[in-house]
Amino acid sequence: MQRILSTALPAHIGETVRLAGWVHRRRSLKSVAFLILRDAAGLAQVVVSEQAARARLEELPEETTVRVVGTVTANPSAPGGVEVTSPVIEALGDPAEPPPFDLYRPDLNVSLPVLLDHAPVALRHPKLAAVHRVGAAAVAGFRTALEEMSFVEIHTPKIVGTATESGANVFELDYFGRPAYLAQSPQLYKQIMVGVFERVYEVGPVFRAEPSDTARHLASYTSLDAEMGFVDDHRDVVAACHATVGGMLAAIRDLAGPSLDLLGVTMPALPREPLVVHFSDVLEMIGTATGQDVSAEPDLAPAHERWLGEWALREHGSDFVFVEGYPTAHRAFYTHPDPARPGYSRAIDLIFRGLELVSGGQRLHRYGDYVRALTARGESDLSAYAGYLDAMRHGMPPHGGFAFGLERFLARLLDVPNIRQVTLFPRDLHRLSP
């Protein structure tokens, strides 16, 4: 007999079926006992009436893996309107000890450090599992949206010879006796690959030796990257990024509906056309609104981003707002300056509910510009960039791209204050296991 999932039970009323999963909860009443079985799809109520079977159920601690063969019976008062009766329950293992907390409670009321210490078990809680189902749907949507726009998926090295974003926060490692680094982003490789495919994307881990202990930084996170050739300017990048966000939200609605319901998620408002404001206008608005002199700020501080998020929602009904034109000196060397506004660039960020979610923009594409930009930033030995500069030397189109942090996306979408709450096994200053 083939196994079915708990959610398929209503289609099998009157039939004998086989289920498998975990003992989520046992409840014993006077004349009957209940086994709540948890599988990948959800929960199923199994009713045990026979005396000997009830005694055997008593012996199965929570989280025992079991196989159940029984009859599907309609019962309007059972969860989902069905239950499994006259079951034969077979234990598939014998847990060494019960879980450190009650996974059957609607919420795991434990502190974040306890939860993270016990992540391998805590993640089985339906609400925590739901977080990562939403994450999986978001990534599926990212891929689909970009495939529909003719982007090609690539996989670039995670052990590299050059720091990409800044020299400061790289993890160095010993590579057969030579220094090497864990990739901070696929930036240089995704640009090189524009020379091959014009449009590329990558989903993969990146590594940042972040010395700061904040609620929005991890030492390793999942970067959703895209890069595209033959752009007119950064506004083409904004348009592609906006369409990608739309695709991610649609996929989440389509693929993760039950998880959204379980978590009580309010889906964000994404306007039809992207909302874009210039960096200098943001500073001016903040100055006017708060009375602070922020006119010389080189970047947006977290408090400025929060202010902007509130403004976008209040004034434009949008949970997303693009900022364009960040000062060139504060962005990476590959950033394209804005020819019309000295000092400002064609770099963009996307702020989602008051948090920077995406960085990107138009890049330099002429070899000579790269040599000048790297030299101006004190890079005396350009040989470290030889492969990258090779692509630039042999003809690159005007291009640009963007990168999302998946965990930041989930944190804002699910409205949790700390990015670690939506990260499977977070890595930070203090945590290297589990």
Which residues participate in catalysis according to the annotation?
A: 208, 210, 216-217, 356, 359, 408
Confirm or reject binding of residue 191 to ligand AMO (CB under 6 A).
no
Q: Which whole-number Å values give the CA distances from 191 to 174, 228, 259, 326, in the listed order?
A: 26, 8, 36, 20
Q: How far apart are CA 249 and CA 343, in angstroms?
A: 35
Site residue total, ligand AMO (CB under 6 A): 21
Please report how close the Cβ of residue 59 comes to ligand AMO at its closest, in angstroms: 45
Q: How far apart are CA 1 and CA 362, in angstroms?
A: 57
> Nearest approach, Cβ of 142 to ligand AMO (angstroms)?
13
Q: What is the DSSP secondary structure assignment for residue 31, as one 8-state letter? A: S
* From candidates 201, 405, 413, 426, binder to ligand AMO by CB under 6 A: 405
Q: How many Cβ atoms from other residues are within 10 Å of residue 313's Cβ? A: 17
Beta bridge partners of 227: 200, 401
Query: Residue 412 interacts with ligand AMO (CB under 6 A)?
Result: no
Check whether 353 is labelled as a binding-site residue: no
Q: Tokens 């690159």 belong to which residue? A: 396
Stretch that binds ligand AMO, among 2-10, 118-126, 214-222, 369-377 (CB under 6 A): 214-222
Residues 162-181 that bind ligand AMO (CB under 6 A): 165
3-state secondary structure 119-163: HHHHCCCHHHHHHHHHHHHHHHHHHHHHHHCCCEECCCCCEECCC
Using alpha carbons, select from 186, 183, 185, 164 the residue that is nearest to residue 172. 183
Return d(Cα 260, Cα 137) in angstroms, integer.
11
87 binds ligand AMO (CB under 6 A): no
Q: Which residue, 35 or 240, has its beta carbon nearer to ligand AMO?
A: 240
| Residue 336 Cβ vs ligand AMO, minimum distance, rounded to whole Å | 11
Flag whether 217 is marked binding. yes
Interaction of residue 221 with ligand AMO, rule CB under 6 A: yes
Q: 234: annotated binding-site residue?
A: no
Q: Which residues bind ligand AMO (CB under 6 A)?
A: 165, 185, 187, 208, 210, 217-218, 221, 223, 356-360, 401-405, 407-408
Binding site for L-aspartate, by residue number, is 165, 208, 359, 363
